[in-house]
Chain A
């Protein structure tokens, strides 16, 4: 159990602990993942592909991609700005600002959807104004995008802030002292230093953006073919007892999760590799 006990052999206690850990992981994580694919293909490949080729499914896929394509770049821009301001300058209230940025993590997704209904809904604060100009936000794509931006808000910033703090200001000051402009410094010095961390943040942000359910469910209105994202489509199919179709769409999302995990692991390996290389 403790390093330094005579041989490096695994003690019975160690084997028990490993078995316990892996057993727990298999039952609670691996099994659900397998279930998705097995259920999706339980009636064979035909019904599986049919479920995906259905017009409502295709429009759900399109909407999900659209929402992620808007929400992720917005959060990248925010994450870069916030981490630059927080990591490169000293100002009072820095830790309060970081806490506020983290706030969406600790708010229930349902509450996240609710706040936009209170703001833009029929009886909401801006409801009458929007109705006058015939702008629809709730139960439409803009509301879905807003709710997604809210729940994925901290992902990129939270990845970049510690990274940029760790890297300090020396590189930027060196570049500026050599005559680079602020923009050049950012593009040629800062960005290459943080690119892997940025990619990591984008990856997690994207996975959550495509998979968000609670917040989007509240603001979407569940209009089939119009405001249904993939997770919402899964719910509808499931509630209609169309299990094969539900799991077929779910398996696409599970595939997305797998890709995310693989790239994430590769990035982590690369991170430690780069760090070790810099250290020696």
Chain B
């Protein structure tokens, strides 16, 4: 169990992390998701011991490691640009962590090489042990970096944008493979990403960060279906936002009620968020949202429809079953919103 207690970090005048609390369970695969500048990489480096907080504590299994340097924390760190040692072969890279052990624990040369080759086998690069990193592809380098981090048998594996520098196809293959590896090894892993698909697909839990705070921690399902804030709703998945007025639990848009919210919420101005797929087409316009179609195209199994709303509201995007005929530009549709999140205006601002 890794516990972060009110971690704070500033760089000159910039407050990178504002009192972060987070618990990571053993064997968990956790994603730190956020836009650039949200503080996610800084947080990862603090967990690793590559950076140090101005205030707060880092505990591994209850033990305070806040002031321990990276070498003493037994973590494996995979760097964004891999940071492989260019002048060493792949096998020497993987064996490096073993070869710099203090004299008493230093394994023999053949032992180190054997261990390195085992790990290369694990990451499916058994044949490339004698190559230099410069001779490998991006995906292969990534796997070497991972094998190198695993060689010191870390309790905790930390990955900084592990797929950031790879092209789409390689990225997808490696993702699946990393997930399997995590399960096989029974490690605790934390990775940083700005790619929501990556976070939702890989992680057991996702911590969404923005401006140095954690907005929400939860399973991918919770994050997607029940975002706690406008930011999370916006950042994870496609979302439409409407400015609405709440009157007696009903959201009204330009005087027309469009959604009835169950549960207590303050009256007055609010923001209503709904996903493109959370609508159906209604026959009558009572309690519905009327739109004028400006464009429609096929997106997988549905029509993605871009529609204009009354007033100055931004255009919205909705998905309509592609069993129906393709909506034509200029056509009017009445949408019934099946699911939505309502945020008070202050929180959304």
Question: Which residues of A come within 8 Å of B, CB atoms?
Answer: 4-7
Question: Across the interface, which residues of A come within 8 angstroms of B24, CB to CB?
Answer: none
Question: Across the interface, which residues of A come within 8 angstroms of B69, CB to CB?
Answer: 4-6
Chain B interface size band reads under 10
CA distance A5 to B71 in the complex (A): 10
Nearest A residue (CB) for B49: A4
Besides A6-B69, A7-B52, 7 more A-B contacts (Cβ < 8 Å) are A4-B50, A4-B51, A4-B69, A4-B70, A5-B69, A6-B52, A6-B67
CA distance A6 to B70 in the complex (A): 10
* CB of B302 to closest CB in A, whole Å: 40
Question: Across the interface, which residues of B come within 8 angstroms of A6, CB to CB?
Answer: 52, 67, 69
CA distance A63 to B51 in the complex (A): 61
Question: Across the interface, which residues of A come within 8 angstroms of B50, CB to CB?
Answer: 4
CA distance A43 to B52 in the complex (A): 60
A-facing mask of B58-93, CB < 8 A → 1, else 0?
A: 000000000101100000000000000000000000
Question: Across the interface, which residues of B come within 8 angstroms of A7, CB to CB?
Answer: 52
CA distance A5 to B50 in the complex (A): 7
* CB of A214 to closest CB in B, whole Å: 39
Those 7 A-B pairs whose CB atoms lie nearest each other, nearest first: A4-B50, A6-B52, A5-B69, A6-B69, A6-B67, A4-B70, A4-B51
Question: Across the interface, which residues of A come within 8 angstroms of B67, CB to CB?
Answer: 6
* CB of B225 to closest CB in A, whole Å: 39
CA distance A6 to B52 in the complex (A): 6
CA distance A5 to B67 in the complex (A): 10
* CB of B319 to closest CB in A, whole Å: 38
CA distance A149 to B52 in the complex (A): 57
A-B contact pairs, 9 of them (CB 8 A): A4-B50, A4-B51, A4-B69, A4-B70, A5-B69, A6-B52, A6-B67, A6-B69, A7-B52
* CB of B8 to closest CB in A, whole Å: 16
* CB of A24 to closest CB in B, whole Å: 28
* CB of A49 to closest CB in B, whole Å: 52
Question: Across the interface, which residues of B come within 8 angstroms of A4, CB to CB?
Answer: 50-51, 69-70
* CB of B241 to closest CB in A, whole Å: 31
List B289-307 residues whose CB lies under 8 Å from chain A.
none
CA distance A169 to B103 in the complex (A): 55
* CB of A11 to closest CB in B, whole Å: 13
CA distance A148 to B227 in the complex (A): 75
Nearest B residue (CB) for A6: B52
Question: Across the interface, which residues of B come within 8 angstroms of A5, CB to CB?
Answer: 69
Nearest B residue (CB) for A3: B50
CA distance A200 to B276 in the complex (A): 59
CA distance A6 to B9 in the complex (A): 13
Nearest A residue (CB) for B45: A4
* CB of A101 to closest CB in B, whole Å: 28
Nearest A residue (CB) for B48: A4
Nearest B residue (CB) for A2: B69
CA distance A4 to B50 in the complex (A): 5
List B208-245 residues whose CB lies under 8 Å from chain A.
none
CA distance A279 to B50 in the complex (A): 28
CA distance A223 to B69 in the complex (A): 70
* CB of A6 to closest CB in B, whole Å: 5
Question: Across the interface, which residues of A come within 8 angstroms of B52, CB to CB?
Answer: 6-7
CA distance A4 to B51 in the complex (A): 6
CA distance A7 to B53 in the complex (A): 10
Nearest B residue (CB) for A4: B50
Question: Across the interface, which residues of A come within 8 angstroms of B70, CB to CB?
Answer: 4
* CB of A13 to closest CB in B, whole Å: 16
CA distance A6 to B69 in the complex (A): 7
* CB of B38 to closest CB in A, whole Å: 20
CA distance A4 to B69 in the complex (A): 8
CA distance A220 to B258 in the complex (A): 98
CA distance A5 to B52 in the complex (A): 9
* CB of A187 to closest CB in B, whole Å: 40
CA distance A6 to B67 in the complex (A): 8
CA distance A184 to B233 in the complex (A): 56
* CB of A222 to closest CB in B, whole Å: 52
* CB of B71 to closest CB in A, whole Å: 10
Question: Across the interface, which residues of A come within 8 angstroms of B51, CB to CB?
Answer: 4
* CB of B80 to closest CB in A, whole Å: 15
CA distance A7 to B67 in the complex (A): 10
CA distance A5 to B69 in the complex (A): 7
List B34-55 residues whose CB lies under 8 Å from chain A.
50-52
Nearest B residue (CB) for A5: B69
* CB of A117 to closest CB in B, whole Å: 47
* CB of B100 to closest CB in A, whole Å: 14
